[in-house]
Structure 1
Amino acid sequence: MADKEPERLLTIHGVCDQAGVRSSFIYERMKGGKFPQSIRVGRRAMWLQSEIQAWIQDKIRASRPGET
């Protein structure tokens, strides 16, 4: 049985680095429901890395119709 890797939490800086966008883009898309929502950890906003990676994969698929 393979061990599942633990979920990583990202700060806004980590999300910007992984997604290649600015924080203003992230917050704007979150308001419109087009970007994964953050979760509160204490006073910090954090994002699940798996949700950010899924968002990136969706954008790749959308930009390459017909590819698997």
Structure 2
Amino acid sequence: MTNTATTNDEEYAAFNINRSNEDRLLTTKEVCSMISLGRTWLWSAVRNGKFPQPVSVGSRTFWKLSSVRGWISAL
């Protein structure tokens, strides 16, 4: 039996292993923590074009660290 959380963590680590720091992919939870706002606000801002679009990897959604930092810098 495979633990789903462990599998997801391993897949996430694999996405980031060969990326530079600025190209690192962030989860929704990490983005919300960085911007100190909730998931509802985040998805609303994405829909309204006020926050960078995420990238999909398989069935998962991530944001590029550089995009999030760029958004923060533009505030």
What residue number does 2:37 align with?
A: 21
Higher helix share: 2
- Separation in structure 1 between the aligned mates of residue 71 and residue 37 of structure 2, nearest angstrom: 12
Task: Provide the residue aligned with 1:42 in structure 2.
Answer: 58
Structure 2 gap ranges (5+): 1-18
Runs of 4+ in structure 1 off by over 6 angstroms are: none
Coordinate RMSD, CA, aligned: 1.1
Q: Structure 1-normalised TM-score?
A: 0.76
Partner in structure 2 of residue 58 of structure 1: 74
In 2, distance between residues paired with 1:18 and 1:8? 14
Report the Cα distance in structure 2 between the residues aligned to 1:34 and 1:43, rounded to whole angstroms: 23
Give 2:59's aligned amino acid.
R
Q: Structure 1: any 5+ residue segments left out of the alignment? A: 60-68
- Which secondary structure does the structure 2 equivalent of 1:35 belong to? coil
Alignment size in residue pairs: 55
